[in-house]
């Protein structure tokens, strides 16, 4: 049940959201656009990767909609003067801006997501006796609206797990959106129970065992790129435990290998991975050069940007190249 203490003011017309609204997560290789619509406001979280010289730049942007029509939304990041625009087209959502501070240098200023059917937000239960909403301003000002223990809310769970997450509470007549403390929510109990999948047998995983280091294409060959302020991307397959540890540069994650099927062609496999939250991901594996110990891998999320890897034991066959522009990290 939503409570408001002395809350008054105009509520934007929800009809501009379009039939059924746009709430949900729109994903593609290397990017996600999460929309959390409420009758009071709409919050958006945008994350993406883009080419940045010899490496990959990233965006991690929390936005709030300022003005909204059926075809064009104006939004911004707290503390920024430069506005963003979201064009709501029949088949796609187009996000545009100039020089955003929440993206790395060289961001092209535009990204597009297919509309289709978005992934629904995560349903969470309020576990605190009272969970208050916060505004999306620079100070995250506390609001007078709150939900109580046992209430169900829809939330976008950013993989980075910030302290405050965008969420909404659907009341009888309107939805209230805002930021809630992640610690006040139980997002595991609200999920439907799923059968725990057993890991792939150790003997079947053995050919994939070991640590694999990312290769970066340079001209007609490959180099091992040494980043300025991150670790080299790599992944380690552990047959004994059925785990796959993935080092993403700035962070790492561990998944369980839950299936293994032959792919199309010689040396091709489809390795089914399952995250600790139960999210599945299919890893397409292809042996590129068995003698050199190189493989090509791809998947919708973890391996959407980096595809070429070499066995750690054979990485000395490839030159190491230091990423350019590292001076700013040494200051």
DSSP states of 265-298: STTEEEEEEE-TTS-EEEEEEEEEETTTTEEEEE
* Report field, pTM of the whole predicted structure over 0.75: no
Q: Tell me the pLDDT of the chain (331 aa) as tens digits.
A: 766 654 433 333 333 443 348 999 998 866 899 999 999 999 999 988 887 766 677 888 999 999 999 999 999 998 788 899 999 999 999 999 998 888 888 889 999 999 888 889 999 999 999 999 999 888 999 999 999 999 999 999 887 778 999 999 998 888 999 999 999 999 875 454 444 578 899 999 999 999 999 999 888 899 998 887 778 899 999 999 999 999 988 788 999 999 998 888 788 899 999 988 778 888 999 999 999 999 999 887 888 877 899 999 999 999 998 877 666 544 4
User: Tokens standing for 221?
Assistant: 């060959």
Predicted confidence at residue 97, as pLDDT, reads 94
Q: For residues 2 and 306, what is the distance between their CA atoms, to the nearest angstrom?
A: 44
CA distance 211 to 232: 12
CA neighbor of 256 nearest in space, from 239, 273, 270: 273
Nearest to 176, CA basis, from 306, 11, 323, 21: 11
Each residue of 247-256: pLDDT tens digit?
A: 988 788 999 9
CB 100 within 8 A of CB 107: yes
Do 287 and 304 touch, CB atoms closer than 8 A? no
d(CA 75, CA 72) in angstroms, rounded, equals: 10
* Cα(1)–Cα(19) distance, integer angstroms: 25
In which element (H, E) is residue 55 found?
Answer: strand 55-68
């Amino acid at each position: 049940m939503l409570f408001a203490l002395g809350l008054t003011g105009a509520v934007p017309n929800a009809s501009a959201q379009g039939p059924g609204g746009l709430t949900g997560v729109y994903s593609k290789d290397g990017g996600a656009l999460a929309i959390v619509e409420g009758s009071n406001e709409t919050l958006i979280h945008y994350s993406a990767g883009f080419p940045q010289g010899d490496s990959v730049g990233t965006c991690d942007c929390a936005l709030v909609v300022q003005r909204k029509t059926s075809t064009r939304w104006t939004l911004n990041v707290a503390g920024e003067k430069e506005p963003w625009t979201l064009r709501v087209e029949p088949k796609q959502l187009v996000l545009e801006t100039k020089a955003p501070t929440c993206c790395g240098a060289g961001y092209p200023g535009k990204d597009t997501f297919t509309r289709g059917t978005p992934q629904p937000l995560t349903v969470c239960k309020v576990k605190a006796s009272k969970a208050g909403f916060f505004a999306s301003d620079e100070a995250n000002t506390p609001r007078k609206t709150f939900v109580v223990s046992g209430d169900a809310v829809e939330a976008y769970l950013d993989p980075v797990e910030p302290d405050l997450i965008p969420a909404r509470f659907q009341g009888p007549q309107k939805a209230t959106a805002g930021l809630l403390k992640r610690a006040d929510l139980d997002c595991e109990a609200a999920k439907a129970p799923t059968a725990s999948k057993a890991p792939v047998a150790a003997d079947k995983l053995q050919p994939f065992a070991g640590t694999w280091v990312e290769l970066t294409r340079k001209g007609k060959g490959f180099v091992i790129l040494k980043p300025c302020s991150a670790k080299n991307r790599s992944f380690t397959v552990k047959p004994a435990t059925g785990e796959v540890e993935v080092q993403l540069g700035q962070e790492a994650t561990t998944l369980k290998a839950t299936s293994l099927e032959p792919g199309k062609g010689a040396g091709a496999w489809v390795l089914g991975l399952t995250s600790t939250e139960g999210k599945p991901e299919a890893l397409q594996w292809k042996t590129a050069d068995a003698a050199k110990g190189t493989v090509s891998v791809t998947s919708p999320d973890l391996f959407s940007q980096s595809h070429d890897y070499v066995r750690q034991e054979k990485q000395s066959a490839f030159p190491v190249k230091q990423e350019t522009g590292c001076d700013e990290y040494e200051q």
